[in-house]
Chain A
């Protein structure tokens, strides 16, 4: 009861703060993101990121202090980040994509793994030298990093991560553990943290609230309108291994929210299960729908060519296989902070009569 009161109170305070001007929030708490806790203190914001790999431990604590403010006294231990960040080195296009959406693309001054970037604006800025290409994210070109003088480095952490020489530069490393969130809205909510870093807290809050509202509207529409919950599977076998999302994973949640039944819903894991083809066939041969994210599969023949026994699934026989070309669709860039778009597509596939006019952006149905 007390927790609910605090949540409502903090949400009201947050929405009040979104009204404009300087933040009046004294304390907020994330409602969907389980790894992220944001607290407004006197003169700074404290952001605590839980360690996704070791329950109960803290991965990193950030103390966000506005650039034009005097450094507050008696701050707790943590990495101080002066906001808004203006010279960011960003490892992933997921985060540059969000920064562009928040109107802060000019804060991106360096990227890693530039060959994976598909955003024409970022590619243009790299070619013009406005954004520095700092090389491979696993071992960035340290001299280029020093030369571009970043005031923050946004990277994706991994278990027991060490970041080599980057750690010794005394530059705040923002560990973007959003990809380890368990739910679609949980991951999307991290945009609030990134918005605070970029001085765009109110823009990010508005964007998140809109995403959340759309997501819940689709979820509620499916839940109230349909009793049937067709069985759906995802991905496919690659070199003998079928990486199946765990029962508590992001994709399992999307299927559930879209009004589908997921064969591994009873599984407790949040990551992927490495199964072989036979395990998937035995459990889900009668799956009604099959969603695949892969480039180069343009027909059912292609899918059978990838692995001959794929033809044995009911979804294959009934031509209910839907494929997303990840290279053409910008799926991995857009979906993390817009899970409503993915939910809409899944819901429209699983319950087409509810969304008769819907035009698909990411997935398309395979034919012969």
Chain B
């Protein structure tokens, strides 16, 4: 059996993840709810078009934006999970566990239910409503993060902080339920449908807002490699290295909040990916160095989200909600992590 050195292992992992990414992108272009033969897909992508107008629209305006949306969402949520796991020094931290997703969801619920379920519009009388949704998600995630940051100044124990995050998540869920109990039927229907998760809702025009924010968040997280690695060594050690741990934590939480909020606003509250993917990267690399983990997490996150998309739209008989698929992938990995915690967590 071939044994890789650590640098070779990193290179090999990145290559494998890139190859899988390319294969998944091709699969998502070729396979979907509508059968379009490979030759037609190729002709459409190369600008020759097909003799079926609907196919042209499906490939160029539906499948391509969906692939970009899913890949960016998977990457964003996975990096958010990685940052939170390091910040709270807890392998079970993630945007959904800590309430950041729920907070963003609460913000969306307020906007959505206030509008009676008519969200997502950016034309005509609905102008700005999708921006209102975005602002709602940012505000909700921001409030949860503010609470976490506030308590982080009082509670120094990361496990306790994680528990506070979980409590805030419960509180946000409770408020969403209360809002639902007074909402119109259409509002409840819209909110429930949004809660299933969906990567196909971002139009080409909306991509101009969605993609830059996600890419900026990913780039900012890449700039946090040094303080992230320092945090792994413990707060005192990090401070001894000249890292302002308090400011670092705030910066990490803000990046996490922005990434989670933008994905939640556009795609719904996608569960499990943020929690699970960083562990996939750790298992593949067997390292806790963020210089290696962040790129691997970005690629693995994109791959997992694309795999979920492929499963979601792969059937002829209808759509399977994204959030019905992510736990099927996520739960076995979480169980593996819990059972093998000593082997997996933070070794270098």
A residues sitting closer than 8 Å to B (CB atoms) are 115-116, 136, 238-241, 273-279, 281-282, 285, 294-302, 304-309, 312, 326-327
B:262-308 near A, CB below 8 Å: 268
The answer to whether B34 and A295 have CB atoms under 8 Å apart is no
Q: Which of B197-244 contact A (CB under 8 A)?
A: 198-201, 203-206
Q: Which residues does chain B contribute within 8 Å of A136, judged by CB atoms?
A: 181
Contact with A along B63-86 (1 / 0, CB 8 A): 100000000000000000000000
Contact A295/B57 with A305-B122, A309-B203 known, Cβ cut-off 8 Å = no
Residue of B nearest to A274 (CB): B318
A244 smallest CB distance to B (angstroms): 9
For the complex formed, measure the closest distance between the CB of B59 and the CB atoms of chain A, giving whole angstroms: 9
Quick check: is B335 within 8 A (CB to CB) of the other chain?
no
Question: A275 to B318, Cβ gap below 8 A?
Answer: yes
Q: Does B319 contact A (CB under 8 A)?
A: yes
* Residue numbers in B under 8 Å from A274 (CB-CB): 318-319
Shortest CB distance B16–A (Å): 30
- With both beta carbons as reference points, the residue of chain B lying nearest to A113 in the complex is identified as B185
User: B267 → chain A, closest Cβ, in Å?
Assistant: 9
Is B339 at the interface (CB under 8 A from chain A)?
A: no
B317: chain A residues at CB < 8 Å are: 273
Instruction: Assess whether B123 is in contact with A305, with CB atoms less than 8 Å apart.
Output: yes
Asked whether A306 lies within 8 Å of B198 as measured between CB atoms, the reply is: no
Tell me whether B116 and A285 are in contact (CB under 8 A).
no
Residue B196 CB within 8 A of the other chain: yes
Tell me whether B53 is interfacial, beta carbon within 8 Å.
yes
Is B319's CB under 8 angstroms from A275's CB? yes
- Alpha-carbon distance between A312 and B54 when the two chains are bound, in angstroms: 8
Are B126 and A238 interface neighbours, CB within 8 A?
no
Q: In the A-B complex, list the 3 residue pairs whose CB atoms are closest, starting with the nearest.
A: A301-B124, A305-B121, A296-B118
User: Could you show 10 A-B contacts with beta carbons less than 8 Å apart?
Assistant: A239-B268, A241-B318, A276-B200, A278-B32, A281-B54, A285-B57, A294-B186, A296-B118, A302-B123, A302-B124
Q: B123 touching A304 by the CB < 8 A rule?
A: yes
Query: In the complex, are the beta carbons of B115 and A296 less than 8 A apart?
Result: yes
**Inter-chain contacts of A296 with B (CB < 8 A):** 115-118, 126, 186
Residues of the A chain whose Cβ atoms lie less than 8 Å from the Cβ of B127? 305
Instruction: Find out whether the CB atom of B33 lies under 8 angstroms from the CB atom of A275.
Output: yes
Closest CB of chain B to A235's CB: distance in Å? Answer: 11
CB-based contact A327/B116 at 8 Å: yes
Given contacts A239-B198, A240-B199, A308-B204, 17 further A-B contacts (CB under 8 A): A240-B196, A240-B319, A276-B33, A278-B58, A278-B313, A281-B58, A282-B55, A285-B53, A294-B118, A296-B115, A299-B124, A305-B126, A305-B130, A306-B118, A308-B203, A308-B205, A327-B184
Residues of A within 8 A of B196 (CB): 239-241
Q: Please report the C-alpha to C-alpha distance between residue A238 and residue B194 in the assembled complex, in whole angstroms.
A: 8
B263 to chain A, nearest CB (A): 14
**A240 and B118 contacting across the interface, CB-CB below 8 Å:** no
Contact partner, A241, options B57, B185, B319, Cβ 8 Å: B319
A241-B193, A296-B115 are contacts. A301–B186 as well, Cβ < 8 Å?
no
Q: Which of A278, A294, A298 has the most CB of B within 10 A?
A: A278
Q: Which of B114-159 contact A (CB under 8 A)?
A: 115-118, 120-127, 129-130
Shortest distance in angstroms between A329's beta carbon and chain B's nearest beta carbon?
A: 13
Q: Is the Cβ of A299 less than 8 Å from the Cβ of B189?
A: no
Complex: A285 Cα to B53 Cα, angstroms: 9
Q: Which residues from B are CB-within-8-Å of A304?
A: 123-124
B126 engages A302 (CB within 8 Å): yes
Decide yes or no whether B182 CB sits under 8 A from chain A. yes
Closest to B122 in A: A305
Task: Say how far A334's CB is from chain B's closest CB, in angstroms.
Answer: 16
Residues of chain B within 8 A (CB-CB) of A300 are: 124
Chain A residue nearest to B32 in the complex (CB): A278
Chain A nearest Cβ from B206, distance in angstroms: 8
